[in-house]
A and B are shown apart, each in its own frame.
Chain A
Amino acid sequence: MLTDTRPARQRTIPRYQRVPRWHRMDMKVSPYLYIAPFFVLFGVFGLFPLLYTGYVSLLGWRTDTAGSEHTFVGLANYGKLLHDQFFWNALKNTLAIGVISTGPQLLLALGLAHLLNYKLRGRTLFRMSVLVPNVTSVAAVTVIFVQLFGRDYGLINYVLGLFGVKHLDWQAGTWSSWIAISVIVTWRWTGYNALIYLAGMQAIPFELYESAALDGASRWRQFRSITIPMLRPTILFTVIVSTIGALQLFGEPLLFNQSQTPETGGSQHQFQVMAVYTYEMFLGNGKFGYGAAISWAMFLVIVVIVAINLTLARRLRGVEE
Chain B
Amino acid sequence: MTVVEPVRRRGRRDGQLSAGKGTYALLGAVVLISLFPLYWTFVAASRTNSDIDRVPPSLIPGGNLFANLGKAFHETEMRLALINSFLVASTITISVVLTSTLAGFAFAKLRFRGRNLLLAGLVATMMVPTQLGIIPLYIMMSQWLHWNDHIQALIVPAAASAFGVFFIRQYLVTALPTELLEAARVDGCSTLRIYWNIVLPVARPAAAVLGMLTFMTAWNDFYWPRVVLTPQNPTVQVALSTLAGGYLVDYSVLLAGALIATLPMLVVFVVMGRQILDGIMQGAIKA
Interface of A toward B, CB cutoff 8 Å: 16-17, 20, 23, 26-28, 30-32, 34-35, 37-39, 41-42, 45-50, 52-53, 56, 112, 115-121, 124, 126-133, 135-141, 143-148, 150, 152-153, 155, 158, 187, 191-192, 195-196, 198-200, 203, 206, 234, 237, 244, 247-248, 250-251, 254-255, 258-260, 262, 275, 278-279, 282-283, 288, 291-292, 295-296, 298-299, 302
Would you call B287 an interface residue if the criterion is a C-beta within 8 Å of the partner chain's C-beta atoms? Answer: yes
- One of B27, B55, B265 near A115 (C-beta < 8 A): B27
Chain B proximity of A91: nearest CB distance (Å): 15
Of A26, A137, A191, most B-chain CB atoms within 10 Å: A137
Question: Is the Cβ of B266 less than 8 Å from the Cβ of A135?
Answer: yes
**B60 contacts the other chain (Cβ, under 8 Å)?**
no
Contact across chains for B274 and A124 when beta carbons are under 8 A apart: yes
Nearest A residue to B252, CB-CB: A147
**B252-280 CB contacts (< 8 Å) to partner A:** 254-255, 257-259, 261-262, 265-266, 268-269, 273-274, 276-277, 280
Q: Give A126 to B7 CA distance when docked, in angstroms.
A: 28
User: Is B107 an interface residue when CB atoms closer than 8 A count as contact?
Assistant: yes
Residues of B within 8 Å of A262, CB to CB, are: 245
User: In which size bucket is the chain B interface?
Assistant: 35 or more
The secondary-structure label for the interface of chain A is: helix
Among A17, A34, A130, A259: residue with most chain B CB under 10 A: A34
Task: Provide 15 A-B residue pairs closer than 8 Å at the C-beta atoms, listed in order of the A residue.
Answer: A17-B186, A27-B110, A35-B103, A38-B160, A49-B136, A50-B125, A50-B128, A112-B30, A115-B30, A119-B13, A128-B269, A129-B30, A132-B269, A135-B269, A278-B134
Known: A20-B188, A139-B220. 5 other contacts (CB 8 A): A30-B110, A137-B219, A147-B52, A258-B244, A260-B247
Nearest residue (CB) in B for A261 is B245
User: In the complex the two chains form, what is the Cα distance from A244 to B131 in whole Å?
Assistant: 11
List of A residues within 8 angstroms of B255 by Cβ: 143-144, 147
Contacts of A198 in B (CB 8 A): 281
B37 touching A299 by the CB < 8 A rule? Answer: no
Are A153 and B129 within 8 A (Cβ)?
A: no
> B38 within 8 Å of A by Cβ?
yes
A187–B106 Cα distance when bound, in Å, is 39
Minimum CB–CB distance for B217 against chain A, Å: 10
The answer to whether B165 and A38 have CB atoms under 8 Å apart is yes
- Contact in complex: A37, B266 (CB < 8 Å): no
B282 close to A283 (CB less than 8 A)? no
- In the complex, A31 Cα to B111 Cα: how many Å? 7
- Contacts A31-B106, A132-B266, A144-B41 given; does A137 touch B129 at CB 8 Å: no
**A119-B16, A129-B35, A140-B262 as given contacts; A147 in contact with B44, CB under 8 Å:** yes
Please, which residue of chain B has its CB at the minimum distance from the CB of A203? B285
Residues from chain A with a CB closer than 8 A to the CB of B281 are 195-196, 198-199
- Does B135 reach chain A (CB closer than 8 Å)? yes
Decide if B204 is an interface residue (CB 8 Å cutoff): no
Q: Given A38-B103, A118-B16, A131-B276, are A146 and B160 neighbors across the interface (CB < 8 Å)?
A: no
Going nearest first, the 3 A-B pairs with the smallest beta carbon separation are A49-B133, A206-B15, A118-B19
Q: Are A135 and B265 in contact (CB under 8 A)?
A: yes
Say whether, besides A144-B37, A155-B40, A56 and B139 are in contact (CB < 8 Å).
yes
B117 interface hit (Cβ, 8 Å): no
Q: Check if B17 sits within 8 Å of A118, measured CB to CB.
A: yes
Q: Shortest beta-carbon distance, A53 to chain B, in Å?
A: 5
Known: A23-B190, A258-B244, A299-B129. A135 touches B157 (CB 8 A): no
Q: Assuming A34-B106, A147-B255, A299-B129, is B34 touching A130 (CB within 8 A)?
A: yes
B223 contact set on A, CB distance < 8 A: 250-251, 275, 279
The residue in B37, B188, B285 that gathers the most chain A C-beta atoms within 10 A of its C-beta is B37
Name the residue on A nearest B57 (C-beta): A155
Confirm or deny: B240 has a beta carbon within 8 angstroms of a beta carbon on chain A.
yes
Q: Given A34-B102, A35-B103, A53-B133, do A196 and B220 touch, yes or no (CB 8 Å)?
A: no
- Min Cβ gap A17→B in Å is 8
Write the nearest CB–CB distance from B11 to chain A, whole angstroms.
8
How distant is A307 from chain B, measured CB to nearest CB, in Å? 12
Q: How far is the CB of A173 from chain B (nearest CB, A)?
A: 21
In the assembled complex, B176 has its CB within 8 A of some CB on chain A: no
Does B249 sit within 8 A of A, measured CB to CB?
A: yes
Bound-complex Cα distance A198 to B280 (A): 11
Which residues from B are CB-within-8-Å of A56?
A: 135-136, 139
Contact B19 A120 (CB under 8 A): yes
Q: How far is B184's CA from A23's CA once the two chains are assembled, in angstroms?
A: 12
Query: Complex formed: what's the CA distance from A35 to B105 in Å?
Result: 9
On whether the beta carbons of B31 and A258 are closer than 8 Å, the reply is no
| Complex interface: chain A residues within 8 A of B111 (CB) | 31
Contacts of B191 in A (CB 8 A): 26-27, 30, 34
B162 within 8 A of A: yes
In the complex, the answer to whether B258 meets A31 with C-beta atoms within 8 Å is no
**Candidate in B40, B162, B258 with the most chain A CB atoms within 10 angstroms:** B258
Nearest opposing residue in chain A for B137, CB measure: A49
- Chain B positions within 8 Å of A26 at CB level: 190-191
Contacts of B160 in A (CB 8 A): 37-38, 41-42, 45-46
For A155, give the chain B residue with the smallest CB separation.
B57
